[in-house]
Amino acid sequence: SKSQLTYGARASTHPNPLARKLFQVAEAKKSNVTVSADVTSTKELLDLADQLGPYIAVIKTHIDILTDFGPQTIAGLQALAQKHNFLIFEDRKFIDIGNTVQKQYHGGTLRISEWAHIINCSILPGEGIVEALAQTAQAMDFPYGADRGLLILAEMTSKGSLATGPYTAASVDYARKYPSFVLGFVSTRSLGEVPATVAASADEDFVVFTTGVNLSSTGDKLGQQYQTPQSAVGRGADFIIAGRGIYAAPDPQEAARQYQQQGWEAYVARVGG
């Protein structure tokens, strides 16, 4: 699998422009950290993005938990993404019929397609959800169409998750059918070994984002289950996603630095550095 290759090598050969950009950012900043900035006001979100910006490759938002979302939220995030060279991932988890998700992705109150480089979806509705979101991205004016990508939520970290077995295998099938829009997966491990129906192409290189990463806890009271950066990267994570482990730490900047260092060391070990 391509996970033995360096980010730099994957950046130079990947067919998808946004995947190339992701790997370039990781390489340039020596960071595979995505911070899950699950705070509830624009000020907290922007302060966190500015403070942690130097140490992260991607910021993951739940934009609908903000109490004061507005144009200033987006303008602020975009300016900080430029300033610190990180990408924006809106964790909206689209899950509906094609006609509805197109309206949720493009326009509406949140205008997600205008600012989120990366989005994700559940495949419970079937293959049509991937096709619908891909259509919306492709219809956007240059340069946005080329700068948008989807992660399929192929597994979940919560206790008793039903996203397993044939569901996870179908996620791989859909990713293989829409390679120009699907960057890869949100999953707890690389999915190369999953018995999917659609065969892999020779240049297949899915990007794996792994949530549920925490250095000091094994879970929460609501069923969250954690693994460490070492474990996640060892199992195939290209980008490790940490929320409370970073933003709820006594010193979030110091925590981000620590996750960056550990995530990077695990990556270097994986590629044989």
Q: Which helix (H) or strand (E) holds 218?
A: none
Please check whether residue 161 is in contact with residue 155, taking contact to mean a CB–CB distance below 8 angstroms. yes
* Annotated binding-site residue? 135: no
Q: Which is nearer to ligand BMP, 53 or 212 (CB)?
A: 212
Q: Which helix (H) or strand (E) holds 81?
A: helix 71-84
Report the distance separating Cα 91 and Cα 243, nearest Å. 12
Q: Which of 2, 30, 47, 93 is catalytic?
A: 93
* Annotated binding-site residue? 38: yes
Q: Which is nearer to ligand BMP, 181 or 239 (CB)?
A: 239
Q: Which is nearer to ligand BMP, 10 or 60 (CB)?
A: 60
Q: Which is nearer to ligand BMP, 136 or 214 (CB)?
A: 214
Q: Please say if 68 is a catalytic residue.
A: no
Q: How far is the CB of 34 from ligand BMP (least distance, A)?
A: 9
Q: Which of 47, 50, 96, 147 is catalytic?
A: 96
Report the distance separating Cα 244 and Cα 212, nearest Å. 10
Token pair of 232 as six digits = 């996640």
- Nearest 5°: CA angle at 154, between 9 and 165? 120
Q: How far is the CB of 47 from ligand BMP (least distance, A)?
A: 18
Tell me which residue of 37, 22, 52, 21 sits closest to 258, measured CA to CA: 52
Q: Which residue's CB atom is positioned nearest to ligand BMP?
A: 243
Label residue 131 exposed, middle or buried (CB < 10 Å: 0-12, 13-18, 19+).
middle
Q: How far is the CB of 9 from ligand BMP (least distance, A)?
A: 28
* Annotated binding-site residue? 244: yes
- Alpha carbon 195 to its chain centroid, in Å, reads 23
Q: Which helix (H) or strand (E) holds 57?
A: none
In three-state secondary structure terms, 46 is: helix
Q: Please say if 50 is a catalytic residue.
A: no
Please check whether residue 164 is in contact with residue 216, taking contact to mean a CB–CB distance below 8 angstroms. no
* Annotated binding-site residue? 157: yes
Q: How far is the CB of 161 from ligand BMP (least distance, A)?
A: 7
Q: Which of 91, 173, 205, 238 is catalytic?
A: 91
* Annotated binding-site residue? 60: yes
Q: Which is nearer to ligand BMP, 102 or 214 (CB)?
A: 214
Token pair of 260 as six digits = 């960056």
Residues lying near ligand BMP in the complex (CB under 6 A) are found at: 36, 38, 62, 91, 156-157, 186, 211-212, 214, 224, 241-245
Axis crossing angle, helix 71-84 with helix 42-52, rounded to the nearest 10:
0
* Annotated binding-site residue? 21: no
Q: How far is the CB of 120 from ligand BMP (least distance, A)?
A: 7
* Number of residues that make up the chain: 273
Q: Please say if 29 is a catalytic residue.
A: no
Residue numbering of the annotated binding site for substrate? 38, 60, 157, 224, 243-244
Residue numbering of the annotated binding site? 38, 60, 157, 224, 243-244
- Catalytic positions: 91, 93, 96
